[in-house]
Amino acid sequence: MRILVALLLLGLAPWVWPVEPHEVVRAFDAPATPYGPGHRGIDIAAPAGSPVLAPQDGVVRFAGPVAGRPVLSIEHGGGLVSSFEPVEPLVAAGDTVEQGQQIGVLQPGHVAGAVRLHLGARLHGEYIDPLTLLGVERPVLLPMGAPKRGAMPRGVRRADAPCGSPRRAARARRACRSASS
């Protein structure tokens, strides 16, 4: 909620999803310390070659290779920066972009054997959960015995969640649907 309030104070509307469909396959996992382990963004499954869109108006801060992977970042004002990888940029550093404008093309390479867009966000240098900026912020009720780690909000499905037997998975899906409706 505090992120949305900050966006309103900055005069920024909620972000739009950078790729369609927007199936989040790995959630944000804040590190305990600045250099500790964690996942400093979200991974969104999408086909290679998908257009990548600017989630909000801004100025391209960086577009080029980092450790052999194509990376793009946009400064949105008020200390808010988004980052995308692996994205072959269609824009250059210093370019102004508008919300929804195509900024690049999704490339394979972020995760072996899968095509995923990694979307990161920093506010005044601190990593924050991009789902909040995308307007996905609400508690989720899960059935008893469901995996706690990486729980996803309604409308966002986690593809790599362990599900046990098919019968148990079906019961869990029904329980999740009824609990989150």
User: 30-64: per-residue pLDDT in tens?
Assistant: 888 878 888 899 999 999 999 999 999 999 999 99
Residue 160 predicted with pLDDT over 50: no
Listing DSSP states for 29-93 in one string gives: B--SSTTSS-B-SEEEE--TT-EEE-SSSEEEEEEEEETTEEEEEEEEETTEEEEEESEEESS-T
User: 124-146: per-residue pLDDT in tens?
Assistant: 999 999 998 988 764 455 566 65
Q: What domains are defined for the chain?
A: 2-133 (2.70.70.10), 141-181 (no CATH)
pLDDT for the residue 31? 84
19 DSSP assignment: S
Residues 94-117: b if buried by 16+ CB within 10 A, e if exposed: eeebebeeebbbbbeebeeeebbb
Average pLDDT of the chain is 78
Confidence of residue 148 (pLDDT cuts 50, 70, 90): low
| Contact in structure between 122 and 159 (CB atoms under 8 Å) | no
Confidence of residue 4 (pLDDT cuts 50, 70, 90): low
Phi, psi of 129 (to 5 degrees): -75, 115
Q: Provide the 3-class DSSP secondary structure of residue 114.
A: strand
Residue 179 predicted with pLDDT over 80: no
- Percentage of the chain exceeding pLDDT 90: 49
Confidence of residue 66 (pLDDT cuts 50, 70, 90): very high
Query: Would the pTM count as exceeding 0.85?
Result: no
User: 7-36: per-residue pLDDT in tens?
Assistant: 554 556 689 999 998 889 998 988 888 788
Confidence of residue 177 (pLDDT cuts 50, 70, 90): very low
pLDDT for the residue 18? 97
Residue 156 predicted with pLDDT over 70: no
